[in-house]
Amino acid sequence: MDILKFLKAVESLEGDLANLYGKFSRDFDDAEVSDMFRKLSQDEESHREIVVFEKKLVLRNRGEFKDVEVDLAGLPEMLAKIDEIMKATQSLSSDQAIIFAVDCEKSAAEIHFKKAITIANPQIAGLMKNLGQKDKEHLSFLSKIAKQRGIPHEFIPEQIIVPRTRKDSKRIK
């Protein structure tokens, strides 16, 4: 896969997470939850900016960066889930938002770490590893909040309901 295509996908993930967490920060009156999602949104936006910088670096030094052998399986589905929540007419509950964020961070960490192993260029591999580490930190932070709020630790993402309207809801799979 062209390295720029890969970085574009990672940029999209980081940007969509920043927007989603920003939405969650505005959706809840609970100051603790709102502040948590505001911080996560800022982190994801800074991650997106790092990826944008890396893309510029690749463009300026194209010969130094090889194509990458990566499989972005799972990424389109995650982006679709995020888009679905962003467009929903009714917000998730704070507990549902936390559970969904945990699922996103688990998936993002997996994407970043697995991809880092397969990338030939050490600079890009290091970036992916660092992003994966940040995702693990987010996951730890979210898990701590979930525990404090009494949210079960056996997160089952398939059970998150994305309300469309008050009468109609759709299950995220």
Residue 127 and residue 51: Cα distance in Å, rounded? 8
How much is the average pLDDT of 114-135? Answer: 71
pLDDT tens digit string along 54-89? 899 889 988 888 777 777 778 888 899 999 999 998
User: Is a pLDDT exceeding 80 seen at residue 121?
Assistant: no
Query: Where is 68: in which H helix or E strand?
Result: none
Tell me: pLDDT of 13 over 70.
yes
Domains and CATH numbers, the chain: 3-171 (1.20.1260.10)
Exposure of 170 in the CB half-sphere (CA atoms within 13 A): 12
Instruction: Return the exposure string of 58-69: e unless at least 16 CB atoms fall within 10 Å of the residue's CB, then b.
Output: beeeeeebeebe
> Measured over all CA atoms, what is the biggest interatomic distance in the chain, rounded to whole angstroms?
55
How many residues are present in the chain? 173
| 3-state SS class at 161 | strand
Q: List the structure tokens of 18.
A: 């920043």
Residues 151-156 have a mean pLDDT of 62
* pLDDT level of residue 117 (50, 70, 90 thresholds): low
Higher-confidence position of 115 and 156:
115
Q: Which of 160, 31, 28, 142 minimizes the C-alpha distance to 96?
A: 160
Q: C-alpha distances in angstroms, 135 versus 17, 28, 40, 72, 159?
A: 11, 23, 10, 17, 22
Cα 11 from Cα 49, distance rounded (Å): 8
Percentages (nearest 5) of helix, strand, coil residues in the chain: 75, 5, 25
What is the value of pTM for the model shown?
0.80
